[in-house]
Amino acid sequence: MYRSSQLRSFLDKKAAQYNRPAFIKDDPVCIPHLFTGKQDIEISGLFAAVFAWGNRTTIINKTRELMKLMDDAPYDFCLHHSADDLKKLLAFRHRTFNATDLLYFIAFLKHHYGAHTSLEPAFLRAPAGDADRFMETSLIHFHEYFFSLEDAPARTKKHISTPYKGSTCKRLNMYLRWMVRRDKQGVDFGIWKKIHPAQLICPIDLHVARVAKHFGLLQRNQLNWQAAVELTACLRTLDAADPVKYDFALFGLGVMEKYR
């Protein structure tokens, strides 16, 4: 077991190793990096995060395929598509995500951006206060809001996770990291200003959990929302202002280095 100062030093070095531009090209975050407009970054990033399970190359290729179907202008496509534009999406598939899901996502995005200039307000219905509870409430609200349109397909709900059902919400937490974290390393965008890096919850999967347990950052065996909260609470003891920067370290150790 590392002492906290040793662990902080080690994880800081690992976070710096992976939190750099060279990380981008092989990670789903490369998709929003194809764009410069805020809304294009938000929309392409959301799809990249939602698709992010399984092989990373496949995730990147399928998201790029979707962006091309949207004429590499996802914001304009979502707001101004025609019925004929939607027809070319009907053959799109990524694992269990199909055309029914895609058409609903586009309907929601058109609805939301009809009233807002950013997707950030969709996550801003939680009261100020405890950081863990803030994000839990925000993600529960986002799920409810996302599926508030009439005739939302029941099958599509599995693609937007919620703490209400105990999910770790790994992909949404990763998306929020991309949008919220602000540093000069060039990976995360930091284009959202009303959610603070200190409020984020660390994305967690089997690889991250294995490394976290090795270092005594996680005791819980069940991989659920409470595990994500527990891990993040430990990471806040290392850096209260930016605990989720250690996602780079834990992911790199677990996935890239197969650390055990």
* Residues in contact with 82: Cβ distance below 8 Å, sequence separation at least 6, in sequence order: none
Considering the entire predicted model, what is its pTM?
0.95
Q: What is the structure's pLDDT at 256?
A: 86
pLDDT in tens, 31-50: 999 999 999 999 999 999 99
From 66, 61, 54, select the one nearest 91 (Cα to Cα).
66
Q: Taking a C-beta distance cutoff of 8 angstroms, is the pair 248, 14 a contact? A: yes
Q: How confident is the model at residue 80 (pLDDT cuts 50, 70, 90)?
A: very high
Span 143-164, pLDDT tens digits: 999 999 999 999 999 999 999 9
Per-domain boundaries in the chain = 4-256
Nearest 5°: phi and psi at 94? -145, 105
**Confidence (pLDDT) at 238:** 96
Q: DSSP letter string over 153-220?
A: -GGGGGGS--GGGT---HHHHHHHHHHH---SSSSS-----SS-GGG------HHHHHHHHHTTS---
Residues 161/173, Cβ–Cβ less than 8 Å:
no
Phi, psi values for residue 18, rounded to 5°:
-100, -25
Q: How confident is the model at residue 179 (pLDDT cuts 50, 70, 90)?
A: very high
Please report which confidence band the pLDDT of residue 182 belongs to, taking 50, 70 and 90 as the band edges.
Answer: very high
In the prediction, which pLDDT does 2 show? Answer: 55
Read off the pLDDT of residues 207-223 as tens digits, 9 standing for 90 and up: 999 999 999 999 999 99
Please tell me what DSSP assigns to residue 238.
Answer: T
Exposed e or buried b per residue across 5-20, where buried means at least 16 C-beta atoms within 10 angstroms of its C-beta = eebbeebeebbebbbe
* Reported confidence tier of residue 130, pLDDT bands at 50, 70, 90: low
User: Is 82 a residue whose pLDDT tops 90?
Assistant: yes
The pLDDT assigned to 128 comes to 54
